[in-house]
């Protein structure tokens, strides 16, 4: 509820500038009012396309709904939330690329993808700029980092404290 709006607004007031959203979080309409705390161009807003909208006929509706919910004219980054072999990644990425060409999305990326998923995505020719993955002291994924680096794909790490486990680790506390 309103706690989401308040928390995101406070984070922006404290200097946070990357706001990470997703269709599957069901809170974009609550995040939207907080985005008005600073000029839009001062924020980096990411959202993620959910599995039920991966087909080419659903992607345009999904981006319009996302922009409406966030009350913003564009996303800085739009990610495919999870790999899904039931819809060819080329179909999804080509529809997302059309949204980018229409000015609704500045950059396209993936989330939760392995090297194999990235290889399939790169075959489409759609520029992939980001792979958002779980990354923390217990999950380093050096081969995935190497692959992304070799293909100019940036990494955004989520769950950097391993869902709280790292904060309780005596060795990490010492470091």
Is 103 within 8 Å of 88 (Cβ atoms)? no
Q: How far apart are alpha carbons 39 and 16 in whole angstroms?
A: 13
* Nearest Cα residue to 79 out of 106, 54, 110: 110
Q: How far apart are alpha carbons 107 and 103 in whole angstroms?
A: 10
Which residue in 25, 54, 74, 158 is the catalytic one?
25
Q: Assess whether 16 carries a catalytic annotation.
A: no
3-state secondary structure of 135: coil
* Nearest Cα residue to 75 out of 120, 52, 109: 109
Which positions are annotated as active-site residues? Answer: 25
């Amino acid at each position: 509820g309103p706690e989401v709006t308040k928390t995101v607004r406070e984070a922006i007031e404290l200097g946070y500038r990357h706001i990470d959203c997703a269709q599957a979080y069901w809170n974009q309409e609550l995040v939207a009012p907080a985005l008005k705390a600073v000029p839009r161009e001062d924020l980096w807003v990411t959202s993620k396309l959910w599995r039920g909208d991966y087909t080419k006929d659903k992607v345009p509706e999904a981006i319009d709904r996302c922009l409406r919910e966030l009350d913003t004219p564009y996303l800085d980054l739009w990610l495919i939330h999870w790999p899904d072999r039931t819809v060819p990644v080329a179909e999804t990425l080509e529809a997302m690329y059309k949204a980018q060409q229409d000015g609704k999305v500045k950059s396209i990326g993936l989330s939760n993808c392995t090297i194999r998923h990235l290889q399939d995505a790169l075959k489409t020719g759609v520029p992939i700029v980001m792979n958002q993955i779980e990354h923390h002291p217990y999950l380093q994924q050096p081969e995935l980092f190497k692959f992304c680096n070799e293909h100019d794909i940036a990494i955004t790490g989520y769950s950097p404290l391993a869902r709280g486990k790292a904060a309780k680790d005596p060795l990490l506390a010492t470091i």
